Structures are given as structure tokens and as C-alpha cells.
Amino acid sequence: MPFTPLHMGPGLFVKALLQSSFSLMVFGWTQIIMDIQPLWVMVVGHGHVHGFSHTLVGSSLIAIIAALTGKPLSELGLRIMGITSQPEPLKIAWRVAFLSAFIGSYTHVGLDAIMHADVQPAYPLTLVNPLLGIVSVKALHKLCLYSGMLGAIVFYLVQWRSHHLNSH
């Protein structure tokens, strides 16, 4: 999967379903951290592109790091953007940060495992990738794009309905 943007489609869909119980910012931060190893390997020209970071063990460690760093960074970003839960700055609960980071890291591995032959999600238990090719790359990209579009529509419909009901 090209770097991070397509991974955000499923994140938007999960945000639509979980609303305030999910942080799209922490999810997105997790996507960025997940792709540091592949980017590094591409820049230096040697190594395993989808190595340890794209295993369940590696992505679990990344999820922990992403939650611990993503919560304060996301809260800072929300404060800078002026997004508040009146009258206080918006806070992200730790459980929301960890849930968002783990969903982010595991969906990242799953999506990349479908299209990249070098992803070994269950390493060191096995080198087999049972997800490889279960759908075409074109279908996978469409799934990511359409889930993002559907997620955005559902999210804003839920927000509109909630605002509409609360204003009456």
C-alpha cells in the first residue's frame, strides 16, 4: 500500500462507528509510525521493507509507542486547531488512545499483508502470509477509498443528527 493515505479510509469508517470512542488523529499517527521502517529501508537501499514493524509483535510495540506519544501530540494539535469540548481543551482518554493505536497498527499490517509478499504477520511463529492476495490490489485500494468515503458520510450524518436533536 502506498504510504499512509489509503490506510486512513478504514480509519474514517471506524471513526464513524465508534465516534468519540476512537481518535482518528492517534490512528493516523500510528499509520505514520508504522511506515517509518519501510521508508528507512527504501532510503538506505537495504533491509527488509516490511520487516519487524509489520508483524503482530512489532505492530503491538508500535501501537504502545503510538498511543503514548499520539495522545499528547493529538491533544496539542486539537488545541492548536481550536477544537474544544467547551470550555476546556478536548482531551483524549488513554483507553481511546490505546484502542485507536492498536486498531491502527493491526489494520495496517492486515492491509499490507494482502498486497505485499514480504509481510510476515505471524513472524516468528511462521513465515507464511495467509492474507496475501485474498483480494486484488485494485479491489483493496477501492475498499480503502470507499470505506473512507462511507465513513466520512456516516460520521457527519451522526454528528448532524446529534447536533439537530440537541438543539431542539
Task: Tell me if 25 sits within 8 A of 162, measured CB to CB.
Answer: no
Of 44-58, 59-73, 153-167, minimum mean pLDDT range:
153-167
Q: Average pLDDT for residues 88-114, to the nearest whole number?
A: 95
Over range 22-50, report the average pLDDT.
Answer: 94
Average pLDDT over residues 137-161: 95
Reported confidence tier of residue 82, pLDDT bands at 50, 70, 90: confident
Residue 61, all three cell numbers: 510495540
pLDDT of res. 118: 95
Q: Judge contact between 8 and 142, C-beta under 8 A.
A: no
Distance in angstroms (rounded) separating the CA atoms of residues 153 and 136: 26
**The predicted structure's pLDDT at residue 3:** 60
The alpha carbon of 152 is separated from its chain's Cα centroid by a whole number of angstroms, namely: 15
Residues in the chain: 168
Q: What would the mean pLDDT of 104-109 be, rounded to a whole number?
A: 98
Instruction: Give the mean pLDDT of 16-34.
Output: 96
Q: Which of 40-54, 81-95, 119-133, 148-162 has the lowest mean pLDDT?
A: 81-95
pLDDT band at 168 (very low <50, low <70, confident <90, very high): low
For the chain, counts of helices (H) and of strands (E): 6, 2
Q: What is the pLDDT of residue 121?
A: 96
Question: What is the pLDDT of the chain when averaged over all its residues?
Answer: 92
Closest Cα partner for 27 from 68, 57, 58, 70?
70
